[in-house]
Amino acid sequence: MSIVLVTGSCGLVGSESVKFFALKGYRVIGIDNNRRKFFFGNEGDTTSIKKNLKKIKKYHHYNYDIRDKNSIKRIFKKYNKKIKLIIHAAAQPSHDWAKNYPMIDFDINAKSTLNLLENTHHYCPRAVFIFMSTNKVYGDNPNKLKFIEKKTRWEISSNNNFSKGINENMSIDNNIHSFFGVSKTYADLIVQEYGKNIGLNCACFRAGCITGPAHAGTKLHGFLSYLVKSSIENKKYSILGYKGKQVRDNIHSLDLINSFWEFFKKPKKGEIYNIGGGSKSNCSILEALDYIEKVCKIKIKKKFVKQNRTGDHIWYVSDLRKFKKHYPKWKQIYTSKKILDELIKFYI
């Protein structure tokens, strides 16, 4: 039976990938040692997700740390050419955490990606390698655009080169990335190199905010999930910088996994794709909070903090045209309102 290998299999992207490909008839091997609990405490604990995944007959779990080279090599050596797809979703995902522990962050995000690529090259070179990258590879370059301040959000003018969203041509140089952004940028670049230089079938999916009810959102990671959870359970939310008008594009995990499926069926070598909610699914923090108040009929206490997070984007909307051109069968189902409705229902 053909095998799909998923790192970070108990995270949002990983767990959705496991369920998706198991339903497609693949045997799925998951690697996850619940490192999120170490990063974020009990809020980030994925034990319950692992318990549910292990009920899937075609799923086999390895409680390995992706930094453990010998353990990772054993998996590749055992399954070798039966592995048809690697979805690398494991990561240290927080700006704030990375600043305090840059060595650990780089080992997890950068060096482990290189190790996975090397094993793919040696044991299953015809497999497809999908790397879950981030829009933080662009650092704060999106903040250098000219913005228009509106009542509830920042916007850019319709005649701006990026009016349809941030595309793959934006520079990744001469900016502040955050330590997390740097480690993910290295991983992104090395994935491209294994495609363009060595010929692996691989791509970097540079996502904005990925979300869904399976997300264990925390204060340091998981923007929309944590916002909804905090608003409903605590009736309060702290807004860091930009007057709460910063815009995020939000892609539902199922829409993202479906983009993986399209790439898997027709892979390319060392490609990059900006993937996110795009023009169909984006909102500011204020807009999200206002929507929750309206739907839930509650009043949320908003605490405004002037200082923004390092490298945080004022406005980020993904330009999806490149991916849609390459994979016209991919259809985006979720809007921000539909995502919020699902999250509200989950937390009520």
What's the pLDDT at 226?
Answer: 86
* Out of 163-167, 174-178, 273-277, least confident range: 174-178
The model's pLDDT over 328-338, given as tens digits with 9 standing for 90+, comes to 999 999 999 99
Q: Is 208 helix (H, G, I), strand (E, B) or coil?
A: coil
Question: Who's near 91: CB < 8 A, 6+ residues apart?
Answer: 8, 108, 109, 132, 184
CA 161, 167, 170, 176 torsion: positive or negative?
positive
What's the pLDDT at 222?
Answer: 57
Beta strands in 95-179 (DSSP E): 128-134, 148-149, 154-155
Residue 103 has pLDDT above 80, yes or no: yes
* Cα gap 65→60, rounded to integer Å: 15
Tokens of 130: 């999908």
* CATH number of the domain to which 268 belongs: 3.40.50.720
Apex 172 CA angle, 165 and 202, nearest 5: 85
Residue 218 has pLDDT above 70, yes or no: no
Count of structural domains, the chain: 1
Q: Is 205 helix (H, G, I), strand (E, B) or coil?
A: strand
Mean pLDDT score across all residues of the chain: 93
Domain span holding position 210: 3-347
Q: Which run of H or of E encompasses 30?
A: strand 27-31
Q: Considering the chain, what percentage of its residues have pLDDT values greater than 70?
A: 97
What's the pLDDT at 95?
Answer: 79
pLDDT band at 215 (very low <50, low <70, confident <90, very high): low
Q: Is 77 helix (H, G, I), strand (E, B) or coil?
A: helix
Residue 74 has pLDDT above 80, yes or no: yes
Record the pTM: 0.94
The model's pLDDT over 141-153, given as tens digits with 9 standing for 90+, comes to 999 999 999 999 9
The model's pLDDT over 149-175, given as tens digits with 9 standing for 90+, comes to 999 999 999 999 999 999 999 999 999
